Amino acid sequence: MKSILSLSITAALYAAHSAQATTVAIKELGQGGVLHKTSPASPTTSAGGVMSFWKSTHDADDNGVTREYRTVQYPGMSVVPDLFSRPDGGIVLGLTGPEVDLASMPTVASLLEQDDIANGHFYLVGNQGRKLMRHLNAPHVTSGEFVQLVESKGKEAVAKEGNKLEVLSVHVEDTQEAAAVDESIRRMIQSVQEEAKKAGSTIVLHVVVDQEEEEVSRGRRRLVAVDKESRRQLAENQGNNRNQGQQNDEGTYQIPGYYDDNNNFVTPFRTIFQIQYYNVVQWTALGLFTILFAANYMTMNMPLMPDTLLFGESAKMVAE
């Protein structure tokens, strides 16, 4: 009897956990042009993947200290940072709690569900919002404190230098708090958008929301459908579908690879960031080597003649 009861409790806890999911919406504020969308094999990623994206996009570590090097993002993610253009700062807002109802949060809902509002989305299985915010050492505040602090966080992100992250996490208890939090986020986005444009800078907003699996699946299915259509058009433009060898019954191109134990997609193909980085390093090295070789060659074959100043020839010429 005890074993049956323990199994029932375990199953209930597992079902409650599996019914939850986390969505991360990314939006550029200001000038823009620092992020790019890709067509991954799956829109789902892990907490480690999101952390790698944050660290490759922004220059500060978990404690706000600027890193001396740039970390590499996990492969196969739906949004990647630009190699040359860097943001001037970032804001991470975490929304958790039993009453994160998108019906009373139109601003957050538009970020999570509309592709033309946000630059991209990451989908995580399970409640990963608190875990992500703990990795960033984000202060966890009530909705009242959040309303007072969120706009100042936006101003600090615009004013500070060093491409650092401003982080804040809020626990929503009821629909009234959800509406107040949503309105404060709307005002903050509008304020940062205007200030960043005036300053000619770009601030990246990351909104982390724990949701029900059913709500997340709608956006995930829409993103998968868009990715399949883009791959199908790419395959048609390339032609010779019979020689691809990687077409399924629907005619969509499948990226070879597999998922490891941490739900990370592993593929032998290189990401656009890796290709860009390799080409920049390679051609820069070749250019510097060519300049060094040419300078040494011209120095070795430089004609030698007496120095008129050293041997006083110029003085003799003046005297004559």
Per-residue pLDDT of the chain (320 residues; tens, 9 = 90+): 445 445 444 444 444 444 478 899 999 999 888 999 887 777 788 888 898 898 888 876 545 555 666 677 888 888 999 888 889 999 999 998 875 777 888 999 999 888 788 888 999 888 888 888 888 888 889 888 999 899 888 888 888 887 888 999 998 888 888 899 999 999 999 999 999 999 899 999 999 998 765 544 444 444 444 444 444 544 454 444 444 444 444 444 456 666 666 556 666 777 777 888 899 999 999 999 999 999 999 888 887 766 666 665 555 666 55
**pLDDT for the residue 228:** 47
Q: Which residues contact 146 (CB under 8 A, 6 or more apart)?
A: 168, 170, 181, 184
Say if residues 189 and 29 touch (Cβ distance below 8 Å). Answer: yes
**pLDDT for the residue 27:** 93
Distance of CA 32 to the CA centre of its chain: 13
The rounded distance, in Å, linking the Cα atoms of 38 and 73 is 13
Using alpha carbons only, give the angle 6, 12, 17 rounded to the nearest 5 degrees. 125
The rounded distance, in Å, linking the Cα atoms of 202 and 84 is 13
**pLDDT for the residue 263:** 57
Say if residues 95 and 150 touch (Cβ distance below 8 Å). Answer: no
HEC readout, 167-187: EEEEECCCHHHHHHHHHHHHH
**pLDDT for the residue 210:** 86
Say if residues 117 and 28 touch (Cβ distance below 8 Å). Answer: no
Backbone angles phi, psi at 191, to 5 degrees: -65, -45
The rounded distance, in Å, linking the Cα atoms of 15 and 126 is 11
**pLDDT for the residue 1:** 46
**pLDDT for the residue 272:** 79
CA dihedral 121, 126, 127, 128 (to 10 degrees): -60
The rounded distance, in Å, linking the Cα atoms of 217 and 116 is 18
